[in-house]
Amino acid sequence: MGGWFRKEIRSVDDLKGLKFRIAGFGGNVLQKLGVVPQLIGGGDIYPALERGVIDGAEWVGPYDDEKLGFQRVAPFYYYPGWWEYSPSIDLMVNTRAYEALPAQYKAVLDAACTEAWHWMAARYDVLNPPAMRRLIASGTQLRGFPREVMEACYKAAQEFFVETGEKNARFKKIHATWDAFRIEETQWMRVAEDSLGNFLAVQTARR
């Protein structure tokens, strides 16, 4: 999700000077639009929002956010969290140590990682919808980021990637491959996934 805000975000101008809890590249991109990124640990977000030390915060999604009680101190819940499409977990190991493992141990490790990733994603798919319903029932005001804001963020992200690549040759090389894949996958998803998803959403809404 895009996060919790004490006030509505109606335009790009509303981002200027906004103190927003966010980590990683998302914060670097939003900074280009005037946001003041705040790196705050999970346990400190609620009191910071409550006291007005920050104006908004992103965490994970409905299920996890509900447990921290953000809905009690920031009424507007925005989507999408474009800087983090979905949850992901990784296992980082020493390459030489991994290659030294017997083949069957490698297979066990690969299977365990695959299972953990899919289990986590599937669990959120099950737990997030009822959590969202509870949040809305308790007064949370669900909002989509305005198209103007999304377009400005996209443009700022592309600029940030170019700037980062100019300073980091490894990043530039990796991003070029990743971006080519992203563009191709986006075109494919418009045909294979998004068209059906949008159709079903309209049909479900008519019930």
Residues 134, 94 within the same domain: yes
C-alpha closest to that of 139 among 51, 43, 75: 75
Residues 160, 174 within the same domain: no
CATH of the domain at 113: 3.40.190.10
Query: Alpha-carbon dihedral of residues 156, 165, 81, 34, nearest 10 degrees?
Result: -40
Residue 205: per-residue pLDDT: 86
Band (pLDDT 50/70/90 cuts) for residue 101 is very high
- Cα–Cα dist 137/47, whole Å: 23
Residue 38: per-residue pLDDT: 96
Band (pLDDT 50/70/90 cuts) for residue 74 is very high
Query: In degrees, to the nearest 5, what angle opens at C-alpha 89 toward C-alphas 105 and 165?
Result: 110
Share of the chain above pLDDT 90, in %: 92
Over residues 32-59, the mean pLDDT reads 96
Residues 123, 189 within the same domain: no
- Cα–Cα dist 181/183, whole Å: 6
- Cα–Cα dist 93/99, whole Å: 10
Residues 186, 154 within the same domain: no
- Please give the residue range of the domain that contains residue 8: 3-167
**How many beta carbons lie within 10 A of that of residue 7, not counting itself?**
12
Write out the two tokens for 65.
């956010």
Query: In degrees, to the nearest 5, what angle opens at C-alpha 147 toward C-alphas 8 and 206?
Result: 90
Over residues 101-112, the mean pLDDT reads 97
Residues 41, 114 within the same domain: yes
Please give the tally of structural domains in the chain.
2
Residue 207: per-residue pLDDT: 79
Element (H, E) at 78: strand 76-79
Residue 86: per-residue pLDDT: 76
Residues 158, 177 within the same domain: no
Burial class (CB in 10 A: 0-12, 13-18, 19+), 78: buried
Residues 65, 153 within the same domain: yes
Residues 110, 190 within the same domain: no
**How many beta carbons lie within 10 A of that of residue 77, not counting itself?**
21
Q: What is the pLDDT of residues 130-181, one digit of tens each?
A: 999 999 999 999 999 999 999 999 999 999 999 999 999 999 999 999 999 9
Residues 67, 157 within the same domain: yes
**How many beta carbons lie within 10 A of that of residue 161, not counting itself?**
19
The model's pTM: 0.90
Residues 68, 33 within the same domain: yes
